Homo-oligomer: A and B are copies of this chain.
Amino acid sequence: MNTPRKTPTMADVARLAGVSPMTVSRAFKRDASVSDATRSAILEAADTLGYVFDSTASNLRSQRTDFVAVTIPSINNANFADTVRGLSEGLKERGLQILLGYTDYDIQEEERLVEQLLRRRPEAIVVTGGRHTPRTRRLLENAGIPVIETWDLPDNPVGHVVGFSNAAAVRSMVDHFVSVGITRIAFIGGDADRDTRGTDRRAGFIAAMQAHGLDPDRLIAAGTPPISMREGADAMGRLLDTLPDTQAVICVSDLSAFGALTECQRRGVNVPQQIAVAGFGDYEIAGICVPSLTTINPLPREIGKRAAELILDVLDGTQEGPATIALEPILMRRQSSP
């Protein structure tokens, strides 16, 4: 038996069950009207043949795919994973699946990815960030489906927005440090503008320092985003070597902040007595490491949840114009700072 047995189709199932293909089609939808006897006969026939529904055909004919495209910068990032989880749960009730793609923090890669995703005809698309190549923007504008930008508050949104201001979030951290008398503050972040959220956080740091009349030049370039724990540690080493009078350091993420903490441990530098350390993201590690890490919780799960609600409203026609939902990140004071 060497013939590459083609997978059975609905017609095969219909023949075996003694009904028309249309009835088989109905038997596979939950709301359709098929008698219980007929349905179970059909499901049994399908099982016998090992039939698996072909959604490529269904999608083409019905012009519906029942999935939502989502782009995130990276697999393996707890923050974005939380956003995806919020989205996923919110969309599940309506039978919408998520098709996920990774941009690797690169807006060129985002362009390729967005086109790939749109070719599959999603019902809506959720992108991370508000800065895109001109072509990505055009693709999104012409897609004819709801577009949601997240994790940012773009000046000129493509469509809907569920996000927060990365710059303002970092400003709140600077304000906090200044309010407790700390003035010599450094920032550890990426050395390229690849990660637009990281860039916004750095810009927010500089602006906040200037607003307080403080020196905004204690900037340590830690590498190409995303910044790893190791790169955070190395950057902290350079900071301690070159600007030893620094009183506090704000890191672009909790991962680099944790790396920075470990470097302090290795050098016997006491945190927060000798230097305060803050992160961004409120990853699990921030709450459990010793000392625990002062950070900013950007409500990633909530972003996903709100985006899902928005998508359902737009698809239902409940939501009229483009919506912008601005969330307020929460400053989490912990042991690594006053």
Residue of B nearest to A4 (CB): B144
The reply to whether B59 and A56 contact each other, CB–CB distance below 8 Å, is yes
Q: How far is the CA of A56 from the CA of B117 in the complex (A)?
A: 11
Would you call A32 an interface residue if the criterion is a C-beta within 8 Å of the partner chain's C-beta atoms? no
Contact with B along A14-48 (1 / 0, CB 8 A): 00000000000000000000000000000000000
Q: How far is the CA of A202 from the CA of B77 in the complex (A)?
A: 27
Q: How far is the CA of A55 from the CA of B52 in the complex (A)?
A: 20
Q: A230: which B residues are within 8 A, CB to CB?
A: 284, 287-288
- Given A76-B77, A77-B76, A290-B265, answer yes or no on A116-B97 (Cβ-Cβ < 8 Å): yes
Contact with B along A73-85 (1 / 0, CB 8 A): 0011110110011
Q: A4: which B residues are within 8 A, CB to CB?
A: 144
The reply to whether B144 and A54 contact each other, CB–CB distance below 8 Å, is no
The reply to whether B285 and A229 contact each other, CB–CB distance below 8 Å, is yes
Contact with B along A276-289 (1 / 0, CB 8 A): 00000000110111
Q: A229: which B residues are within 8 A, CB to CB?
A: 284-285, 288
* A57 in complex: contacting residue of B60, B77, B287, B289, CB < 8 Å: B60
Q: How far is the CA of A7 from the CA of B142 in the complex (A)?
A: 8
Query: Which 3 A/B pairs are nearest by Cβ-Cβ distance?
Result: A76-B81, A50-B142, A56-B59
A-B contact pairs, 5 of them (CB 8 A): A56-B120, A56-B121, A75-B76, A230-B284, A266-B290
